[in-house]
């Protein structure tokens, strides 16, 4: 099945050489099965706003063409999905921690090549695969591995003895430095909003596997490159947490005042997550040492990381933890050994909003076109915190594929976002589909398209939601 998006333009503006977008219709996308009536109006409104993202002052390529849309899903709740791109091939895969189920795309892949070797390295089952449409051929010697939403919380399972010891070590550090922390008897379980702890150990193993694969493949394939992309929402910084950013009309995170104190508070949340889940972040550090490149995006649940002061504060907190633990414990035994046996510091890398790879791949988390979860919007974390206690609110969320395919198609029209493959996370629902784009005027007449290299300027004339357009103008969208 192919998804289709049809952009409908004002005929009078089109004849004047100015494109004012009216709306975008979609076809071939299955409707939401659950909560369809509840969400129908919201989805239509979201879809319109997603289509408007193209109608800021941008240079467009107005042509009928297709691109490949990939949603890499989730790494939580026992579902370990991820994306793989190599050459002209894109795949959505699932990882099995016991590494007993090798799999490959059901089409011809050169035997012994980089993609073939990775997919058959154990524990990888290919769920969906497709060819990136021309002219984007990609590089068969460059492998991209995309880690989806993880939502790792500052929480541990009561059944994990080692991590419970770390939890107790960290709580004593907070008490000794008089941070004002109230001991939590449930080990932060409310923060595990998406059941992320169920897949946490598998992530450490998978990342270690990628680092090892990258270090060894060079002896067989000297030209091989491996790039890791984490698509955002690495951390869960919303559920069971205060909202420490202000409502903003622009798509940006503005910390509550005093900003310096807020950055230190959020830095502590992130540093605590690193302390409790050292194996995962140690494995990320191994990937940064062994791979050609590691790219980290921010999502909506960890959008604080778009603020450099937060990243700096989190790293400062990690650097200070060892001396704080020394103050808290001295030579005291913890769990039958010195506290150092439960301790490793790791790095918190800076984040970017999106990543445009030279092979014609465009990566973003997906919140850009999600009105209630965009950067600087407080209603998203408010709803998340309410859903911590009200299960029906959590169950009411839906994939809203129409919204995100519309937003991806709008981005595809922007000339500077030239790509053949669009990659996102955010929905937790893995998918890969070809998307065909067409255009017509508002009287249903197909638009006679200009030559493929023709550039058109869009204009935001006569559109009602100027504040939303300003968001994306400021963000360079």
Q: What is the pLDDT of residues 14-56, one digit of tens each?
A: 665 555 554 666 777 776 654 444 545 566 667 767 776 766 5
DSSP string, 407-421: HHHHHHHBGGG--SE
**CB neighbour list of residue 28: distance below 8 Å, 6 or more residues apart:** 1, 2, 3, 4
When pLDDT is averaged across residues 201-212 and rounded to a whole number, the result is 97
When pLDDT is averaged across residues 291-309 and rounded to a whole number, the result is 97
8 A C-beta contact, residue 230 and residue 83:
no
8 A C-beta contact, residue 269 and residue 154:
yes
Structure tokens at 233: 């929402």
User: Among the listed ranges 72-86, 164-178, 417-431, 462-476, which one has the minimum average pLDDT value?
Assistant: 462-476
First-to-last alpha carbon distance for the chain, in angstroms, is 29
Q: What is the pLDDT of residues 125-184, one digit of tens each?
A: 999 899 999 888 789 999 999 999 999 999 999 999 889 888 988 888 888 777 655 667
8 A C-beta contact, residue 147 and residue 228:
yes
CA distance 317 to 320: 5
When pLDDT is averaged across residues 308-312 and rounded to a whole number, the result is 98
Q: How far lies 228's CA from each of 92, 126, 202, 206, 262, in Å? A: 15, 18, 16, 12, 30
Q: What is the pLDDT of residues 340-362, one digit of tens each?
A: 666 778 999 999 999 999 889 99
Give the chain's count of helices (H) and strands (E). 12, 20
Give the pLDDT confidence score for residue 453 in this predicted structure: 44
Give the pLDDT confidence score for residue 462 in this predicted structure: 33
Q: How far lies 53's CA from each of 37, 47, 50, 171, 378, in Å? A: 26, 10, 6, 45, 20
Q: Largest Cα–Cα distance of the chain, in whole Å? A: 80
- Residue in the block written with tokens 């400062």: 316
DSSP string, 11-63: HHHHHTT-B-EEEEEEESPPPPSSSHHHHHHHHHHHHHHHHHTT-SS-EE---
**How high does pLDDT run on average in the chain?**
83
pTM metric for this prediction: 0.90
Closest CA to 35 of 429, 455, 394, 445: 394
CA distance 162 to 200: 14
448: three-class secondary structure by DSSP: coil
Own/partner long-range contacts of 109-114 (Cβ < 8 Å, ≥24 apart): 110/140, 113/86, 113/140, 113/221, 114/86, 114/140, 114/141, 114/142, 114/143, 114/217, 114/221, 114/224
DSSP 325: H
Q: How far lies 449's CA from each of 14, 22, 413, 440, in Å? A: 11, 18, 13, 10
Instruction: List the beta bridge partners of residue 362.
Output: 356, 422
Confidence of residue 467 (pLDDT cuts 50, 70, 90): very low
CA distance 2 to 347: 42
């Amino acid at each position: 099945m192919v998804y289709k998006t049809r952009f409908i333009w004002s005929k009078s503006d089109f004849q004047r050489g100015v494109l004012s977008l009216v709306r975008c219709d979609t076809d071939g996308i299955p409707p939401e099965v659950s909560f369809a009536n509840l969400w129908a109006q919201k989805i239509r409104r979201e879809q319109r706003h997603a289509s408007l993202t193209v109608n800021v002052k941008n240079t467009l390529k107005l042509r009928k063409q297709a691109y490949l849309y990939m949603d890499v899903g989730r790494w939580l709740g026992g579902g370990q999905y991820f994306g793989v791109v190599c050459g002209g091939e894109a795949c959505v895969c699932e990882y099995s921690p016991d590494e007993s189920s090798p799999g490959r795309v059901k089409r011809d892949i050169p035997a012994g090549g980089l993609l073939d070797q990775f997919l058959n390295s154990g524990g990888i089952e290919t769920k969906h695969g497709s060819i990136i449409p021309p002219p984007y051929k990609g590089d068969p010697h460059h492998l991209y591995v995309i880690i989806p939403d993880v939502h790792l919380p500052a929480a541990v399972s009561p059944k994990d003895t080692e991590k419970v010891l770390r939890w107790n070590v960290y709580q004593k550090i907070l008490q000794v430095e008089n941070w004002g922390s109230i001991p939590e008897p449930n080990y932060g379980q409310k923060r595990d909003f998406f059941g992320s702890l169920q897949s946490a150990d598998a992530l450490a193993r998978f990342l270690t596997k990628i680092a090892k694969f990258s270090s060894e493949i060079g002896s067989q394939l000297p030209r091989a490159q491996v790039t890791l992309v984490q698509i955002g929402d690495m951390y869960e910084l919303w559920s069971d947490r205060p909202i420490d950013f202000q409502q903003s009309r622009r798509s940006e995170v503005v910390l509550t005042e005093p900003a310096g104190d807020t950055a230190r508070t959020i830095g502590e949340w992130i540093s605590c997550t690193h302390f409790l889940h050292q194996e995962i972040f140690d494995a990320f550090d191994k990937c940064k040492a062994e791979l050609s490149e590691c790219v980290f995006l921010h999502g909506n649940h960890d959008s604080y990381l778009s603020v450099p002061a937060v990243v700096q504060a989190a790293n400062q907190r990690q650097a200070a933890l060892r001396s704080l633990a020394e103050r808290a414990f001295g030579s005291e035994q913890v769990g039958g050994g010195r506290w150092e046996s439960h301790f490793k510091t790791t790095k918190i890398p800076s984040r970017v909003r999106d990543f445009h790879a030279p092979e014609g791949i465009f990566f973003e988390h997906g919140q850009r076109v999600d009105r209630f979860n965009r950067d600087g919007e407080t209603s998203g974390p408010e709803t998340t915190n309410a859903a911590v206690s009200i299960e029906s609110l959590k169950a009411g969320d839906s994939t809203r594929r129409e919204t995100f395919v519309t937003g991806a198609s709008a981005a595809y029209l922007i000339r500077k976002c030239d790509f053949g493959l669009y990659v996102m996370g955010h929905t937790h629902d893995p998918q890969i589909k070809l998307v065909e784009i067409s255009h017509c005027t508002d009287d249903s007449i197909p638009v006679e398209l200009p030559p493929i290299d023709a550039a058109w300027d869009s204009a935001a004339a006569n559109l009602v939601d100027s504040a939303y357009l300003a968001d994306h103008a400021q963000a360079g969208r």
